[in-house]
Amino acid sequence: MGGIVELVITPLLLAVLLSYILAPPVRYLEKQKLSRSSAILIIYIFLASLLTLICLRLFPSLLKELEELGRLLPELTEKLMLTFERLENRLRGFNYPDGIRAALDENIRAWHGVLAQSLEILALQLLTTVGRVMGLLLVPLFTFYLLRDSDRFKRWLLLRLPSSLRSSMERTLADVSKTLGAYLRGVLVVSIAIGVMLYLGLLFLGIRFALFLAFLNALLNVVPYFGPFIGALPIIVIALLQSPALAWKAALLVIIVQQVESQLIAPRVLGYELGFHPLVVVIALLLGGIYLGFFGLIFIVPLTAVFLIFYKHFSPLLRRVFFKRRNGRNWV
């Protein structure tokens, strides 16, 4: 099952999301009297040129930082342990009651174990994620066919539905395209803005691995609620290993960037809310992380949005079907 998810399901889901992001420029080029295939190829050439330029400028530096981080990870872990030991010795200098002191010692020892294990898991996850990303070569192919044949897929689906359902399905698909496309493009712009702001701020503060940390936070920003907090931890830890004062500056930088994003950038770029209750998002993220891993955290919110849009359009129809069946009538 894991091979099917990595080789088929994950690339296909990424292609679906990417097709929603690229649909507006494709439609714009079609209005300029270009065929759809030509429009898609032009966009592909532009994106390939842009990505090549970015990779030539940034990828060597990012790869160098990753290699240095992997080489220094044991040393960084040891420094972090020594930092916790110094903190532990300072805390032991206070006159706490015996019960509180015992609980404090036990929690500190537990944190030592969790921290060491977390760093090892993080290193393995980074290698695994890089390997999976390298295996997503099918995404451009899937995206091309989804963009080129989207109208054909839509007609094929509508013709196989009862006539009483076609108008509802057509409105549902239009709503999905509008809502999901705008949301995904907004999230992409916001994530890029977060990455750029953090990169400039980390460079200004002199925090090591600035490019990697900024890239990691831009990637994690697509995960609602949890992403920004998870991304902030490596920044603060790396800064703490350089100096405690720098850790406070790094924490302040993260807070400022997140406030700028939440108060200024996100409202203007996204322009609306999906209308999810926070509990729905948390449950969806937990399920997505359990069953689909890291990519599940990325996919689960758009998938939940699609499910709720379908529910909004079809729930009245389902209620009518249930009522008619109770009265012994054919609903089609």
List pLDDT tens digits, range 114-169.
555 555 555 555 555 554 555 567 788 888 998 888 888 888 888 888 887 788 88
Q: Per the domain annotation, does 109 fall within a domain?
A: no
The residue type of 67 is E
> With bands split at pLDDT 50, 70 and 90, how would you rate the model's confidence at 57?
confident
Per residue, what are the HEC states of the chain? CHHHHHHHHHHHHHHHHHHHHHHHHHHHHHHCCCCHHHHHHHHHHHHHHHHHHHHHHHHHHHHHHHHHHHHHHHHHHHHHHHHHHHHHHHHHCCCCCHHHHHHHHHHHHHHHHHHHHHHHHHHHHHHHHHHHHHCCCHHHHHHHHHHHCHHHHHHHHHHCCCHHHHHHHHHHHHHHHHHHHHHHHHHHHHHHHHHHHHHHHHHHHCCCCHHHHHHHHHHHCCCCCHHHHHHHHHHHHHHHHHCHHHHHHHHHHHHHHHHHHHHHHHHHHHCCCCCCCHHHHHHHHHHHHHHHHHHHHHHHHHHHHHHHHHHHHHHHHHHHHHHHHHCCCCCC
Please indicate whether residue 204 or residue 290 has the higher confidence score (pLDDT).
204
The number of domains in the chain is 1
In whole angstroms, what is the distance from residue 325 CA to residue 332 CA?
Answer: 11
- 174 lies in which domain range? 150-332
- For the cut 90, the answer to whether the pLDDT of residue 275 exceeds it is no
Q: What is the pLDDT of residue 127?
A: 52
Q: What is the pLDDT of residue 249?
A: 92
Per-residue pLDDT, averaged over 27-52, amounts to 90
CB crowding 5-38: b at 16 or more within 10 Å, else e:
bbeeebbebbbbbbbbbbbeebeebeeeeeebee
Q: Per the domain annotation, does 170 fall within a domain?
A: yes
In whole angstroms, what is the distance from residue 61 CA to residue 45 CA?
Answer: 24
Q: Per the domain annotation, does 206 fall within a domain?
A: yes
Write down the pTM of the prediction: 0.69
Q: What is the pLDDT of residues 33-42, one digit of tens each?
A: 888 999 999 9
Torsion of CA 280, 282, 283, 289, to 10 degrees: 140
Q: Per the domain annotation, does 123 fall within a domain?
A: no
Q: Per the domain annotation, does 327 fall within a domain?
A: yes
Residue holding tokens 């703490």? 240
Q: Per the domain annotation, does 25 fall within a domain?
A: no
Q: What is the pLDDT of residue 241?
A: 80
Q: Per the domain annotation, does 144 fall within a domain?
A: no
Q: Per the domain annotation, does 77 fall within a domain?
A: no
In whole angstroms, what is the distance from residue 329 CA to residue 332 CA?
Answer: 9
Q: What is the pLDDT of residues 218-248, one digit of tens each?
A: 888 887 777 788 888 888 888 888 888 898 9
**Number of residues assigned to the chain:** 332
